[in-house]
Structure 1
Amino acid sequence: MILCHTHNLIFIKTHKTAGSSVEVALESICGPQDVVTPMKTDDGGETKSRNYHGRSRVSTLYAKNKFVRKFISRTSHLVAPYYWEHMPAQRVRALMGSSEFDRYFSFCFERNPWEKVVSYYQWKTIGQGRKLDSFRNWIQQKPHRLPKDGKLWSDGGQQMVSCVLDHRNVEEKLQEVLQELGAPSIGTLPREKTKPGKSRGDYRDWYDQDTRNAVAKHFAFEIETMGYRFDDPAPDRPIVRRS
């Protein structure tokens, strides 16, 4: 995620929505006092992370040591403030304070969940080499593993971020957001974590009626908010702004 005080901007990073590419692009316009969470890039490097953990010894140790992170929650007061990659807007708001959070422009990208689930499954199995069950069994038996990102940009069914944008035409939409804020243009959007290894084909071909219904059930909030459909020919979706 990105918390950019320089341009009063908060980016909540969701899964399989070009979030890594957006994060790399936004990092380039952040200043020394802004918050950039760590992320490995495709070239083997890392983003120039900064200010994502507190200055106490415990917080610093927690940020640098995976073993310590197994025993302390990242929301614990022992390590606060602590910001991480796929961080819920609700937690960002709690750390910033409600008035400051609401004053900033916060946004994220979403994706047709039937398409997103296929992309996520392929990223795990091919991009990361995970040994998962068949696509059908994985959806039916591991619903807690699905990339249900509505919880990142909402709380109790209420949208927390200023706006949710569909990930199609992501570069154009990001440029519009930056222009609205008077922030510098980022140029061509870099491509990060976008090539799992082979084409997945048409996402609709991955589904039978049971798995199609399962995704509709588990992503009901995202589907209702964004107006998604399984067989979705629309080239784009409108921006959904916080009421």
Structure 2
Amino acid sequence: MLLAMLPRQERDHLLSYIPEKDRRYIEKILKGRARYPECFDERQALFIHIPKTAGRSLVKSLFNVNSVEHANAEWYQRIDPDRFDRYFKFAIVRNPWDRLVSAWTYLREGGAKSSEDDTAWGEFFHRFDSFEDFVCHWLTPENIRRKHLFTPQSEFVTDRFGGMAMDFVGRYERLNEDFDVICEKLGLDVKLPHLNSSKRVGYQEFYTDRSRAIVEKIYARDIELFGYCFDE
């Protein structure tokens, strides 16, 4: 691939023009990492880790690893269609209004300490006076693709044809119950730890009628596909 032959600085500059979610996939291909994680092969299962849906807790319990990539279903389908068809595929989704507050809070507090990108985003978000200011003056269909934490959840769980690819979609709001369903399917008897959680007031407190309506419009596909409403 010609891109791999470019000096690193030039390659990184070109990749910076691509939405972050897609850039991650290209970087994995360039590094020879376009493959299924071994932990997925061991379980004959495919977990689609949507950001800010308690994914770290699940992979620690179910796969005994600290983390897996935030790769979508289409990525795995293109790598190996046969395995994709055979494996049990599942994901956890979250109320879009709540997930947005979680992502905003996470980045405002600095994100992952080892990530320079998270640090830069956190500094940028401090330019906004409030969550309301952020939603009303930054949240657009174009901008949410600049950072994977804001990518619509529907784009993670659909295949390359646009159809639902998951065998099971659990909910963050009933995580313990749905975790038990997943464990039964995988034949596991494990407990769910609580990792990477934050303490804050209810997400509803962050919204006004205006910001609530903006999120409803921006994430309309998620709300429709997963049947969410604001006060769930």
**Which of residues 70, 75, 78 in structure 2 aligns to 1:91?**
75
Contact 1:157–1:221 (CA under 8 A) maintained in structure 2? no
- CA distance in 1 between counterparts of 2:98 and 2:53 reads 10
* Cα pair distance change 1:149/1:222, threshold 3 Å: same
Partner of 2:44: 8
- CA distance in 1 between counterparts of 2:202 and 2:173 reads 16
- What does 1:67-146 align with in structure 2 at a 5 Å threshold? 85-97=69-81, 99-126=82-109, 128=111, 130-131=122-123, 132=125, 133=128, 134-140=130-136, 141-143=138-140, 144-145=143-144, 146=150
CA RMSD of superposed structures (Å): 2.2
- CA distance in 2 between counterparts of 1:89 and 1:215 reads 24
Q: CA deviation at 1:138?
A: 2.1
* Cα pair distance change 1:139/1:92, threshold 3 Å: same
1:58-98 deviations in Å (ceiling 9; x for gaps): xxxxxxxxxxxxxxxxxxxxxxxxxx61101101111022x
Q: Secondary structure at the match of 2:42?
A: coil
Aligned pair count reads 174
Q: What TM-score do you get using the length of structure 1 for normalisation?
A: 0.65
- CA distance in 2 between counterparts of 1:26 and 1:4 reads 10
- CA distance in 2 between counterparts of 1:147 and 1:203 reads 19
Partner of 1:173: 178
Gaps of 5+ in 2: 1-35, 112-118, 145-149
Partner of 1:227: 227
Task: Give me the identity figure in percent.
Answer: 28
Q: CA deviation at 1:139?
A: 2.0
**Which of residues 166, 169, 176 in structure 2 aligns to 1:161?**
166
- CA distance in 2 between counterparts of 1:102 and 1:108 reads 15
Q: CA deviation at 1:215?
A: 0.9
- CA distance in 2 between counterparts of 1:127 and 1:150 reads 26
Contact 2:43–2:63 (CA under 8 A) maintained in structure 1? no
Q: Which structure has more helix as a fraction of its residues? A: 2
Gaps of 5+ in 1: 29-35, 37-46, 50-83, 233-243
Contact 2:53–2:92 (CA under 8 A) maintained in structure 1? yes
Q: Secondary structure at the match of 2:92?
A: strand
Q: Secondary structure at the match of 2:43?
A: coil
The one-letter code matched in structure 2 to 1:150 is S
- CA distance in 1 between counterparts of 2:172 and 2:49 reads 12
Q: CA deviation at 1:142?
A: 3.6
Contact 1:93–1:101 (CA under 8 A) maintained in structure 2? yes
- CA distance in 2 between counterparts of 1:167 and 1:205 reads 19
Partner of 1:215: 215
Contact 1:117–1:147 (CA under 8 A) maintained in structure 2? no
1:120-151 deviations in Å (ceiling 9; x for gaps): 11111125261312312322314323342211
The reply on whether 1:190 has 2:197 as its aligned counterpart is no
Q: CA deviation at 1:168?
A: 2.1
Q: What TM-score do you get using the length of structure 2 for normalisation?
A: 0.67
- CA distance in 2 between counterparts of 1:192 and 1:223 reads 26
- CA distance in 1 between counterparts of 2:80 and 2:107 reads 33
